[in-house]
Structure 1
Amino acid sequence: MIGDVSGGDTLTKGEIFEVLRNQRRRYVVQFLKQDGRPVELGDLAQQVAAWEYETTLDGVTPEQRKRVYTTLQQTHLPKMDEAGILSFDADEGVIEATDLTRDVSVYLEIVPGHEFAWRELYLSLGAVSCALVAALWLGIYPLTLLSDLAWAGFISTTFTAAATAHIYHERNMRLGYGEKPPELSYGADD
């Protein structure tokens, strides 16, 4: 169970995944996590459309913005508000993070199923390293041409390189990583 929602209820992992299964909702959580301030629906729709259409804020067409605005207003924000993941004032068109917003953002960092399986790489490296150490212990030629210290250095370097690649890859997989939160102009026409 995650966090207290109004009324003392909590969300299960399943409920969180149900709400966050939609990419547009994940973008909303990411935006609120980055900015931290209450945001107007129009500004949120502009940024979400920019992310979805892989363009700049200025590159979003009025049609793209309207499409995102409408579904956020009618579907996504009310569902997220009901779950307590954010606070949505439909009359004012203002969205605000709640305590639960940051709690559920950890679920945005889960690697999708089509991504590289790092645990399998580490398991394979471990198995190959064990086999190599056993072969060196038994004195199997041509592995004995290099010293034990050279092999230890090779194994250590391989694991370090794999871990470095893993860290670099994971940082780049996070939604919004390296992106500067947009400059918001409050009070702009929607």
Structure 2
Amino acid sequence: MAARGDGGVLVGRSDSDDLSRDEIFDLISNSRRRYAIQYCKQADGKVSLSDLAEHVAALEHEKDVSEISSSERKAVYTSLQQTHLPRLDRAGVVEFENGTVELTDRIERLDIYLDIVPEGSVPWGVYYLGLSALSAVVMAALWLEFLPTETIPELAYPTAIVVVFAASAVYHTYLNHRYRFEEFDRSE
């Protein structure tokens, strides 16, 4: 965010300045900015404002890009051009000039805040906490000899725990990737 210097002139922030948590939340508080960032991440390079507006409009209206009307596209185009992209540019998250948009390295600071948790699902932190508690109960039962070890090898229990954690981590990684880009695949 720009600040006033001694002479009343706006002085921009340097590239080394970190975005505060409040600035990050302000940047991603608008769905249009989030859609724009996600599309630019998927494109992995410079994106034309026209293409960006089409894809953001498609997401907002839950339509395919080919079904977007001229007025829907124009409303998003104008909003991105006049409000959202200049705001992201001032924050140093994108470079917006001459009708093109490109993400900067500062976008990495926003990644953790852009994870999508589907409605009705258990947050992964709570899931792993529960899995850890279950593992502790199994290990305590082994120590107290409540679990059978005559017919089942003693190492089978900790091995099963490790397998469940590994499978959960693989599935968690897969879901993060899917939820992050699923809507963009739909609009192509």
- TM-score w.r.t. length of structure 2: 0.72
* Larger RCO of the pair (alpha carbons < 8 Å, separation 6+): 1
Distance 2:48 2:30 in 1: 21
Distance 1:71 1:65 in 2: 10
Gaps of 5+ in 1: 183-190
Q: What is the aligned partner in structure 1 of residue 153 from structure 2?
A: 147
1:180–1:104 distance in 2 versus 1, CA, 3 Å: farther
1:24–1:132 distance in 2 versus 1, CA, 3 Å: same
1:50-95 alpha-carbon deviations (Å, 9 max, x no partner) = 2222332212122321221232123212222332322334xx5x03
Aligned partners of 1:46 and 1:57 also within 8 Å: yes
1:78–1:141 distance in 2 versus 1, CA, 3 Å: closer
Q: What is the aligned partner in structure 1 of residue 7 from structure 2?
A: none
Q: How many residue pairs align between the two structures?
A: 175
Gaps of 5+ in 2: 1-10
Q: What is the aligned partner in structure 2 of residue 96 from structure 1?
A: 101
Alignment of 1:151-170 (within 5 A): 151-170=157-176
Question: In structure 1, the residue corresponding to 2:163 is in which secondary structure?
Answer: helix
Question: In structure 2, the residue corresponding to 1:97 is in which secondary structure?
Answer: strand
Distance 2:33 2:161 in 1: 43
1:161–1:8 distance in 2 versus 1, CA, 3 Å: closer
> How many percent of aligned residue pairs carry the same amino acid?
35
1:16–1:70 distance in 2 versus 1, CA, 3 Å: same
Letter in 2 for 1:24: R
Q: What is the aligned partner in structure 1 of residue 14 from structure 2?
A: 8
Q: What is the aligned partner in structure 2 of residue 41 from structure 1?
A: 49
RMSD: 3.3
Distance 1:167 1:88 in 2: 31
Letter in 1 for 2:94: L
- TM-score w.r.t. length of structure 1: 0.72
Q: What is the aligned partner in structure 2 of residue 17 from structure 1?
A: 25
Alignment of 1:1-190 (within 5 A): 6=12, 8=14, 10=17, 11-89=19-97, 92=98, 94-97=99-102, 99-100=104-105, 102-107=107-112, 109-112=114-117, 116-140=122-146, 146-175=152-181, 179=185
1:6–1:181 distance in 2 versus 1, CA, 3 Å: farther
